[in-house]
Amino acid sequence: MQNLKRINYLNLLLYGLFICFNLLETGWNGYNYSLGNKLITSDQMSSMNTWMYIEIGSHKILNFVALAVIVVFLLLCNRMVKKNDLGRSFHFLLILLGFFPIASFFLYYIIWRRLNQNLFKYFGGSYKESDRIIVVIWVFELSYRGGAILVWIAGFYSNNPEFVSKITALKDLEPLIHSFYLLAISVLYFLYCMNFHRGIVKSESGIRDLIKNDLID
């Protein structure tokens, strides 16, 4: 339980940082889009570009850290489910497979939902709220990826110049749309981690009450 609590604290820290980074990038991409084709050269703009390059580099490093942390998180969840016989557990290789491309769109979320449900039953709380968050993240992921593929196919195979022109114009919005997507995902992950923390606290509170009652008896 303590290991899960610590890794969840780390997740809260990471996704709190992601929210800040994604807010910054959303504002930056929105500002760049508003400039259009205007050419602006100034010391202030150059300084802002330098800070954004640093931020983007830091963001990429944190992405790898967050991936490693979420792998460890699911492995710890699986270990707890297996150790306490809370329901179906998964082989660790199957969990790792869930993070591979294509498989991550389906297997990762199936494993995550199942482990989440088993753990919240153990915590003594309802898993429905956290399960809904997982499903919304899943839908966001599939919608974004599927939409990007459909737009690319439509633009590639269309013979309508006007439609192709609209697709091209939409590509100018791509960085801003991507920033909004990442911001939404980071907020949802943060909300899930908060919900998971409340589940752990409720479980620990129940255990303390049980011990206190046993001592009184």
- The structural domains of the chain, with segments of one domain joined by +, span 2-216
**Across 53-60, average pLDDT:** 87
Instruction: Please tell me the predicted confidence (pLDDT) of residue 48.
Output: 66
In this prediction the pTM is: 0.86
Q: Give the separation between CA 203 and CA 196, rounded to whole angstroms.
A: 11
pLDDT (tens digit per residue) in 138-155: 999 999 988 888 877 776
**Residue 89 dihedral angles phi and psi, to the nearest 5°:** -110, 175
Between these two residues, 125 and 75, which has the higher pLDDT value?
Answer: 75
**Across 33-62, average pLDDT:** 70
| Chain-centroid distance, C-alpha 39 | 35
Contacts of 204 (CB under 8 A, 6+ apart): 1
Say if residues 43 and 200 touch (Cβ distance below 8 Å).
Answer: no
**Across 180-206, average pLDDT:** 90
